Amino acid sequence: MQVFNIFFKIAKKHLGQVFIFSGVFLILIFLMSISQSRSLSGDFSAKKIDITILDEDHSVLSQSIRDYLGSRHNLVTLEKTDTESLTDNLFYQQISYVLTIPQGFEAHFLTDSPLKLSHSIRQDNANGFFVNEQLNSYLDSISLYCTGGYSLADAIAATDQNLAASPKVEAITFQKTADSGNTTMFYWFQYMSYIFLMIFSLSLVPILVTFQQTDVSARISCSALPAQSRTLQLGLGCICYSILTWLVFTLAAVLFFGPKNVFSQQGQLCMLNSFVFTQICVAITLLLSTFGLKDNSLNLISNIIGIGMSFLCGIFVPQWYLSTGVLAVAKFLPAYWYIKIINMVTGWSGESYSLANYWKYIGMQCIFLVAIFSVYLVANKQRKRASLA
C-alpha cells in the first residue's frame, strides 16, 4: 500500500486549505444562525416589517396609528432621525418603512382637505406596499365610521374591535417529513456543498497532480507495482479521503446540533444527499486533476466552479429568488438538485415533500456523478496517450 500511504502523506501537507475553508464554513454557519428567522412551525405569522414612525402630531389619532402598526409590525426607534441616517437605515435594510405624521393631522383628518401622511420606502420590495395597504384600510375605516355618525374616539374603538374580531389566517400543513426543529442544521448542509466543492478541488487535486508528474509517474511505472494496483490505491485514497472528510463534517454536525436533530428523518435525508454530493465533488476533482493545473490556475478554476455553482444553484441566494433563466441553466449543474432536496425537505420553497421526488433528485445527482466520472476516464486516457507520445 505504498501509493495509498504516500497519498495521505501528501494530503497532510495540504491540510491548510481544509482548515481555511472549515473556518469560513463555521463563520457562515454562525452568521446564519444569528440572522435566521425562519420558523418551521405550522402557524401562519404575517410578515413583520421594521417601521420608524416620526410623530409630529402627538394626538389620539396618531397614537392609534402607532398602536395599530405596532400590533402588526416592529416599531424601530432610531437614535438619529435626520435624512442621512434615515436613508442609510432604509438602504441597508435596517428599516423598511418610514412614516411621518405631520403636525395637525388629526385636526384636519375629517375636513375636505386632510393633511397627508408621508412615507418613504425602498422601491425594490413589496413591504412598503403592504404597510400602505394596511394603513389606508385602517384610516379609511375610521374616516367612514365618522361619516356614518360616529365620533373619532368611537370610530377608532369600533375599527379596533372589528380588527380584533377578524378571523385568523389558517395555515394548512401538507405532507411533510418528521420535523427536526433546527433550522440552522439545514444551513449547515446547504453551505457544506460550497465548502466541499472548494476543499476537494484545492486539497485533493494537488495530491493527484503530484502522482501525474512525469518523473514520479515514470518512477512508479518502472517499479514492481502493477499499474492496476497503483490506480486502485489512488482510487481507494480518494474514496477514503472523501468519506473521512464527510464523516468529520457530519460528526461536527452531530456535536453542534445533537444526534436527535441530525438523525431525525429530515436529518437523515440531508445526510444521504450530502454523501452523494460528496462523491460528485470527488468526481469533479478527479476530472480537474487530469488537466495538470498549477496552483494559480487551480485557484482560479476552483473559485469559478465553487462560487459559480453557489450563486447559480441557490447555495448563497435561495432558488426561489433566482430568475427562471438562471434556474434553467442551473438544472444542468449537480448542486441545483442537491439544494432542491434541502428546500423540499424543509419546505422552504413551497414544494411539498414526497419520497418519489427525493429519489428522483438523488437519481439526477447520480446521473451527474456517472457523467462526470465517464468524462474523467476519457480525459485521463487522452492524457496518458499524450504523455506517451
Rounded-to-integer distance, Cα 233 and Cα 301, Å: 27
**Which H helix or E strand runs over 99?**
strand 97-101
Rounded-to-integer distance, Cα 184 and Cα 195, Å: 16
Of 198 and 276, the one with the shorter C-beta distance to another protein is 198
Number of residues that bind another protein (CB under 8 A): 92
Tallying the residues shown for the chain, one arrives at 389
Q: If we measure between CA atoms, which residue out of 289, 280, 369 comes closest to residue 14? A: 289
Residue 292 CB partners (closer than 8 Å, separation 6+): 209, 212, 383
110-129 residues near another protein, rule: CB under 8 A: 114, 116-127, 129
Of 205 and 312, the one with the shorter C-beta distance to another protein is 312
Ordered DSSP codes for 45-76? -PPP-EEEEEESS-SHHHHHHHHHHHHHSEE-
- Give 55's strand partners: 101
Rounded-to-integer distance, Cα 217 and Cα 210, Å: 9
* Residue of 7, 337, 348, 376 interacting with another protein (CB under 8 A): 348
Binding segment for another protein (CB under 8 A), chosen from 1-9, 194-202, 262-270, 346-354, is: 346-354
Q: Which amino acid makes up residue 84?
A: E
| Contact call for residue 169 and another protein (CB under 8 A) | yes
Beta carbons of 59 and 129 less than 8 angstroms apart: no
| Contact call for residue 89 and another protein (CB under 8 A) | yes
End-to-end Cα, the chain, rounded Å: 29
* Residue of 316, 366, 373, 379 interacting with another protein (CB under 8 A): 316
273-302 residues near another protein, rule: CB under 8 A: 296, 299-300
Rounded-to-integer distance, Cα 345 and Cα 311, Å: 21
| Contact call for residue 214 and another protein (CB under 8 A) | no
Of 153 and 239, the one with the shorter C-beta distance to another protein is 153
141-160 residues near another protein, rule: CB under 8 A: 141, 143-145, 147-150, 158-159
Of 54 and 255, the one with the shorter C-beta distance to another protein is 54
Of 117 and 286, the one with the shorter C-beta distance to another protein is 117
Of 349 and 380, the one with the shorter C-beta distance to another protein is 349
* Residue of 4, 275, 291, 311 interacting with another protein (CB under 8 A): 311
63-82 residues near another protein, rule: CB under 8 A: 79
| Contact call for residue 194 and another protein (CB under 8 A) | no
27-46 residues near another protein, rule: CB under 8 A: 31, 35, 38, 42-44, 46
Q: Which cell numbers hold the place of 184?
A: 440552522
Binding segment for another protein (CB under 8 A), chosen from 197-205, 251-259, 331-339, 349-357, is: 349-357
* Residue of 140, 218, 219, 263 interacting with another protein (CB under 8 A): 140
Q: How far is the CB of 119 from another protein (least distance, A)?
A: 6
Of 122 and 260, the one with the shorter C-beta distance to another protein is 122
228-267 residues near another protein, rule: CB under 8 A: none
Q: How far is the CB of 162 from another protein (least distance, A)?
A: 4
| Contact call for residue 87 and another protein (CB under 8 A) | yes
**Cell numbers 380584533: residue:** 164
Q: Which amino acid makes up residue 43?
A: D
What is the phi/psi pair of residue 74, to 5°? -95, 120
Rounded-to-integer distance, Cα 143 and Cα 152, Å: 8
Q: If we measure between CA atoms, which residue out of 281, 273, 280 comes closest to residue 253? A: 273
